[in-house]
């Protein structure tokens, strides 16, 4: 299938590694061009360099209110257009909801929630008809994960904000889709498993709870995200799509 990605341009926040980088790699493989952003100049520069001339890297933080507009300008200056974005931010601190301090809640809200909402709003306003935004959420949108209290508290609200925005921007032909990654072997999940003291046992337990009996590789998420952002998915908007190997028990 031709996804229609050739020559299209996408912003990828959190694009220097993990799910963001995997999505960028899939987009570029199908002919798209990408602007990657990350807080770490060295990491985002290396990630962009690895993708060749189809990628540009920008060191920026989504908690900065000026960052979304900066990325829109960078895409237009480098590649002359903008067709979509993947909004991905790092996972918040590990711990139960009750154990988190007020400051940890405020910090996570600024990063996970407000930073993402602001980015979606600015990106959607800059997109033409046919543009698309994917927002990386979590299966915590539908069911809580032990030890991820901040995510359990913030991701469901972010999913509803994305759906509200899909209603608002839909008449202009701009799509917004939430993506719910399950257990993917990113650095983040490796850190969570290492925190248990026995990462191999933790990985085995996690795999046992997944119908496919294995954890995903980042590229398996990236390919789904690239499809969702592509013109081939032109009638998908306002939904959340699990990419979890069947782990969620809800429809």
Give residue 78's pLDDT band: very low, low, confident or very high (50, 70, 90).
very high
Cβ(174)–Cβ(235) below 8 Å: no
> Is residue 166 included in any domain, yes or no?
yes
80 and 198 in a single domain? The answer is no
Number of domains composing the chain? 2
Higher-pLDDT residue of 146 and 228 is 228
Tell whether 251 is covered by a domain. no
CB 221 within 8 A of CB 181: yes
Residue 15 lies in a domain: yes
Dmax (CA) for the chain in angstroms is 50
pLDDT at 232 over 80: yes
pLDDT per position as a tens digit, 18-41: 999 999 999 999 999 999 999 999
Residue 192 in any domain: the answer is yes
Q: Say whether pLDDT at 69 is over 90.
A: yes
Phi, psi of 59 (to 5 degrees): -80, 115
Q: Report the distance separating Cα 206 and Cα 212, nearest Å.
A: 11
- For residue 201, the enclosing domain spans 186-215
Cα dihedral 240/246/248/251 (nearest 10): 60
Q: Indicate whether 130 and 91 sit together in one domain.
A: yes
Same domain, 204 and 127: no
Q: Measured between alpha carbons, how far is 251 from 249 in angstroms, rounded to an integer?
A: 7
Which is more confident, 23 or 199? 23
Helix count and strand count (H, E) for the chain: 9, 7
């Amino acid at each position: 299938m031709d996804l229609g990605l050739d020559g299209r341009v996408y912003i990828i926040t959190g694009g220097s590694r993990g799910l963001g980088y995997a999505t960028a790699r899939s987009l570029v493989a199908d002919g798209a061009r990408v602007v990657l952003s990350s807080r770490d100049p060295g990491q985002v520069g290396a990630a962009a360099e690895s993708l060749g001339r189809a990628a540009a890297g920008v060191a920026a933080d989504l908690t900065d209110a000026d960052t979304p507009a900066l990325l829109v300008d960078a895409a237009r200056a480098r590649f002359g257009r903008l067709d979509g974005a993947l909004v991905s931010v790092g996972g918040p601190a590990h711990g139960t909801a009750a154990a988190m301090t007020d400051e940890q809640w405020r910090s996570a809200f600024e990063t996970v929630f407000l930073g993402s909402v602001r980015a979606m709003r600015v990106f959607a306003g800059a997109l033409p008809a046919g543009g698309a935004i994917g927002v990386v959420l979590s299966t915590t949108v539908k069911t809580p994960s032990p030890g991820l209290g901040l995510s359990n508290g913030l991701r469901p609200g972010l999913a509803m904000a994305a759906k509200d925005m899909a209603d608002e921007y839909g008449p202009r032909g701009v799509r917004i889709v939430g993506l719910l990654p399950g257990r993917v072997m990113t650095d983040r999940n490796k850190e969570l498993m290492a925190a248990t003291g026995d990462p191999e046992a933790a990985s085995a337990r996690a795999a046992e709870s997944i119908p496919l009996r294995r954890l995903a590789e980042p590229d398996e998420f990236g390919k789904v995200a690239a499809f969702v952002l592509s013109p081939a998915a032109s009638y998908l908007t306002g939904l959340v799509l699990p990419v979890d190997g069947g782990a969620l028990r809800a429809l």
